Amino acid sequence: MENAKSLGSDEAKSERLRFSNLTATDLLKYEIMRKRVKKNKYSKLAKDVGFQDIKNMTGLSIREGNIEALMGMAQSNIYAVTAELQKSEYNQLFSQKFKNKQDSFIPFLYFMVRPHAPRSFKIMLQKLTRSIILRHSLNISGRGSHGKARHRIKYYPGIPEFDLNQTLFNYLQNGNKFLGYNDIIGIKRRQRKRSVVLMLDTSGSMFGKLLLNAALTTSVLTYAMSKDFTSIILFNSKALVLKEIKTQNNVTRLIDQILETEAVGFTNVSAGLKKGLKELNKIENIRKKVGILITDGDYNRGKNPTLIASKFPKLHVINIPPESQNEKSRDNLTRGQLVCKKIARAGRGYYIPVKNFSEIPRTLMKLISKI
């Protein structure tokens, strides 16, 4: 028994001795291969690693698909990471990852390196990011939302759809004796024009999450409501009309505009709502006029947004909790969540909380189907 303990103790000492001989670069490489720590750990390890070694570890992170390592090293030495990524050899690798749908890291790379990258490399990553967003949005939106109203019509040869319940009722009314052409009721679907303004909060910066969500959400709305009137508003300290409600859709241009935007500044929800309401009021003779607000609700600029929210015909709120909210506090509503609830109540719309950014596009799609 004592021999077994002694053996175990010797092995532990040997393991500690082995790790004590490792350099900072060795430790970083070890953690990159393990993929078990968060970006802050990689960032701390990278502080003791030289420029050239960070470049080498960047290449290793890409090959291993370790995005946490890339983000961590970029936090520590963005210049070394960018210097490695701009090599032409990675162009084919990025394209192959996109082709194989192993490309979830590319948008995050784009947002991390875009302030420091050479123009050619930045454009290459931006094009791939745009293509990834378009592909995801098409998968989410499918054939678009069901924006068609059902109208009953009389039977004619080749009619594509029937109102079976009404037809059966007419048959029963005739005593189950016969079914005439006049008893058969058809259905015709007519496109129901809607007017929707989407207002997206882009205040602050979280490695591109806000802008990536804004681009994907905008793309989903554009595809799903291609025959409707839509407007896109981005807001932080101020509000920007990205797409006016009477202009035609150009989803590629919209995505590029968002990808080139900076997610910075304070949060002025009222500014976004004011711009949105102004766009919504440009369309007349439309029954369905709706605003959709996506924000954490924790405003620190502008007036109380519930005042302007009450002026919307209908205003729905998709509320995402702040990035800093931890597990213990999730049972208690934050100030922003309470504000979002009040905005939705004032706008006579739905309050829809989501847990993270990835839920927003599909949540938006479900909401559109109800409008």
Considering the entire predicted model, what is its pTM? 0.75
**Superfamily name and number for 194-370:** von Willebrand factor, type A domain (3.40.50.410)
- DSSP assignment of 59-106: HHHHHHT-HHHHHHHHHH-HHHHHHHHTSTHHHHHHHHHHHTT--TTH
Task: Enter the tokens of residue 348.
Answer: 């006579």
d(CA 126, CA 55): 21
Question: Strand 351-353 vs strand 229-235: parallel, antiparallel, or unpaired?
Answer: unpaired
Residue with more model confidence, 1 or 125: 125
Mean pLDDT, residues 303-324 = 90
Mean pLDDT, residues 150-154 = 63
| Cβ atoms within 10 Å, residue 167 | 16
| Cβ atoms within 10 Å, residue 330 | 12
Q: What is the pLDDT of residue 249?
A: 82
pLDDT, tens digit (0-9, with 9 covering 90-100), for 271-282: 999 999 999 999
pLDDT band at 96 (very low <50, low <70, confident <90, very high): confident
The most confident of the ranges 96-105, 147-156, 162-171, 179-188 is: 96-105
Q: What is the pLDDT of residue 25?
A: 92
The structural domains of the chain, with segments of one domain joined by +, span 22-139, 148-191, 194-370
Q: Which of 269, 284, 358 is closest to 317 using CA atoms?
A: 269
Please tell me whether residue 325 adopts helix, strand or coil conformation: coil
Mark 332-341 as b/e (b = at least 16 C-beta within 10 Å): eebebbebbb
Choose the weakest-confidence range: 14-28, 120-134, 206-220, 346-360.
14-28
Choose the weakest-confidence range: 145-149, 344-348, 349-353.
145-149
358 has a pLDDT exceeding 90: no
| Cβ atoms within 10 Å, residue 251 | 20
CA distances from 187 to 129, 227, 357 (A): 42, 21, 39
Give me the residues paired with residue 189 across strands. 150
pLDDT, tens digit (0-9, with 9 covering 90-100), for 78-89: 999 999 998 888
331 has a pLDDT exceeding 80: no
pLDDT, tens digit (0-9, with 9 covering 90-100), for 116-137: 888 989 999 999 999 999 999 9
